[in-house]
């Protein structure tokens, strides 16, 4: 659904006059990049205690006329983000959320807009260093944050938020998505992987909160400097600070999160850095840290082994393969134009093939 920016600006202006005061003005309304649905950035300038204040926000809206469930239910993210924030997980703060239809005709979620940029494993922003140690630092922070997510006491902090889904339910959830693949042979390849996943399910999977799309484009980093003890420079002078490098600012886009076998997130992170899961033209940069290193870091933080990690890597490959099958179809039919899926399409066969290898121990 296309949203007219001028009309949305008027709606936001009315909202902000009501919520920030009669001196509030809305600026810089823009559609946000990415594939996460209807997402818009804007800023509001308002007066508080006689002083001009400024706030930058990101707003999520569901499509009009669509049943609000799962990824189209933006309000389900509000209690989740609040629980994560309360427990020290780096996520944007929820500023406003509600179902009062007079503002935007649909429910809305607004969170703070934080500085930084995400890490695209195929084509990182030029501001990121591609040095192996610099890239490893990004992924170590990503794994540490994932540990925080998976250690959340969801039964207490998210009581009644969502019923847990079994691994079989997680696999079967993608059946109708796969069935709508752009090419018939993709369905066949996906069904072969699905059968293996169902046959080789882990016996006692740990259940918890999962993000659902845990990979570099949903990890927001920013360059920071931190004070340190004075140290001599090469010139013999004393420096009071040194670069702290990239720091993880926030985990973004929780729209397909849930409660299930949360090792899916680790598998998902690993699929996106596994060159064997991608077509030769769409492989991750060569300085990505080794998979075994990240698994060991996760195991150390969680204080448990993950012997079934290859199964979860296969599940992640199957899952993204099915998502790709569906989105390529939408793109080719003109229902949801996004050229990114033209670049991903050649990897569908590779994703399913690699998943089979992992499941069969090849």
Per-residue pLDDT of 190-248, as tens digits, reads 999 999 999 999 999 999 999 999 999 999 999 875 544 444 444 444 443 334 589 99
CATH number of the domain enclosing 284:
3.90.1200.10
Q: Which of 82, 112, 142 is the last residue of a domain?
A: 112
User: What burial class does residue 92 get, using C-beta atoms within 10 Å of its C-beta: 0-12 exposed, 13-18 middle, 19+ buried?
Assistant: buried
CB 318, CB 197: distance < 8 Å: yes
Q: Which of 54, 77, 112 is the last residue of a domain?
A: 112
Q: Do 82 and 211 share a domain, yes or no? A: no
CB 277, CB 215: distance < 8 Å: no
Q: Do 78 and 202 share a domain, yes or no? A: no
Q: Do 153 and 295 share a domain, yes or no? A: yes
pLDDT band, very low/low/confident/very high, at 67 (cuts 50, 70, 90) = confident
Distances (CA, A) of 134 to 141, 170, 268, 321: 11, 35, 21, 29
Q: Do 73 and 189 share a domain, yes or no? A: no
Q: Mind listing the pLDDT tens digit for each residue in 269-282? A: 999 999 999 999 89
Q: Do 283 and 182 share a domain, yes or no? A: yes
Round to whole Å and give the CA distance between 161 and 258: 9
Q: What are the residues facing 245 on neighbouring strands?
A: 224
Q: Do 311 and 242 share a domain, yes or no? A: yes
Q: Phi/psi class of residue 222: alpha, beta or left (left: φ > 0; alpha: ψ in -120 to 50)?
A: beta
Q: How do 219-232 and 238-251 pair as beta strands? A: antiparallel
Q: Do 98 and 128 share a domain, yes or no? A: no
Q: Do 183 and 40 share a domain, yes or no? A: no
* Contact partners, residue 286, CB within 8 Å, separation at least 6: none
- Supply the pLDDT for residue 233: 44
- Supply the pLDDT for residue 220: 97
Q: Mind listing the pLDDT tens digit for each residue in 2-61? A: 678 999 999 999 999 999 999 999 999 999 876 555 899 999 999 988 899 999 999 999
Q: Which residues span the domain enclosing 143?
A: 117-360
For the chain, what is the domain count? 2
Q: Which of 83, 112, 141 is the last residue of a domain?
A: 112
pTM over 0.85: yes
Q: Do 164 and 224 share a domain, yes or no? A: yes
User: What burial class does residue 144 get, using C-beta atoms within 10 Å of its C-beta: 0-12 exposed, 13-18 middle, 19+ buried?
Assistant: middle
**Mean of per-residue pLDDT scores for the chain:** 92
Segment 172-184 mean pLDDT: 97
Distances (CA, A) of 211 to 64, 110, 164, 322: 25, 19, 14, 18
CB 143, CB 88: distance < 8 Å: no
Q: Mind listing the pLDDT tens digit for each residue in 98-151? A: 999 999 999 999 999 999 999 999 999 999 999 999 999 999 999 999 999 999
Three-class SS of residue 264?
A: helix
- Supply the pLDDT for residue 245: 81
Q: Do 202 and 63 share a domain, yes or no? A: no
Q: Do 103 and 151 share a domain, yes or no? A: no
- Supply the pLDDT for residue 241: 39
Q: Do 151 and 204 share a domain, yes or no? A: yes
* Contact partners, residue 305, CB within 8 Å, separation at least 6: 299
| Helix residue spans in the chain (DSSP H) | 5-20, 77-86, 101-104, 132-150, 154-157, 167-172, 175-178, 184-199, 263-273, 291-302, 309-332, 340-344, 348-360
Q: Mind listing the pLDDT tens digit for each residue in 338-351? A: 999 999 999 999 99
CATH number of the domain enclosing 91:
3.30.200.20
Angle at which helices 348-360 and 309-332 cross, to 10°: 160
């Amino acid at each position: 659904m296309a949203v007219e920016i001028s009309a949305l600006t008027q709606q936001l202006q009315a909202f902000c006059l009501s919520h920030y005061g009669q001196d509030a003005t809305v600026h810089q309304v823009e559609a946000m990049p990415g594939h996460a649905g209807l997402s818009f950035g804007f800023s509001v300038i308002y007066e508080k205690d006689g002083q001009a204040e400024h706030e930058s926000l990101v707003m999520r809206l569901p499509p009009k006329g669509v049943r609000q469930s799962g990824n189209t239910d933006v309000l389900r993210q509000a209690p989740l983000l609040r629980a994560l924030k309360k427990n020290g997980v780096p996520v944007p703060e929820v500023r406003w959320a509600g179902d009062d239809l007079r503002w935007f005709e649909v429910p809305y979620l607004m969170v703070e807009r934080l500085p930084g940029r995400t890490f695209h494993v195929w084509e990182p922003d030029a501001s990121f260093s591609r040095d192996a140690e610099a890239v490893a630092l990004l992924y170590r922070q990503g794994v540490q944050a994932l540990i925080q997510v998976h250690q959340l006491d969801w039964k207490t902090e998210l009581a009644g938020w969502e019923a847990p889904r079994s691994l079989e339910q997680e696999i079967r959830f993608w059946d109708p998505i796969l069935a709508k693949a752009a090419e018939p042979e993709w369905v066949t390849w996906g069904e072969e992987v699905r059968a293996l996943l169902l046959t080789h399910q882990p016996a006692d999977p740990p259940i918890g909160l999962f993000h659902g799309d845990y990979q570099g484009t949903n990890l927001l980093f920013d360059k920071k400097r931190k004070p340190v003890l004075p140290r001599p420079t090469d010139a013999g002078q004393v420096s009071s600070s040194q670069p702290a490098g990239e720091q993880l600012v926030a985990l973004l886009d929780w729209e397909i999160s849930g409660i299930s076998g949360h090792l899916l997130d680790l598998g998902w992170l690993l699929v996106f850095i596994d060159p064997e899961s991608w077509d030769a033209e769409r492989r991750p940069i060569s300085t990505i840290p080794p998979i075994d290193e990240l698994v060991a870091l996760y195991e150390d933080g969680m204080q448990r082994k993950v012997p079934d990690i290859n199964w979860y890597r296969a599940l992640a490959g199957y899952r993204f393969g099915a998502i790709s099958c569906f989105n390529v179809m939408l793109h080719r039919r003109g229902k949801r134009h996004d050229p990114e899926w033209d670049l991903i399409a050649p990897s569908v066969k590779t994703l399913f093939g690699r998943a089979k290898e992992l499941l069969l121990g090849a």
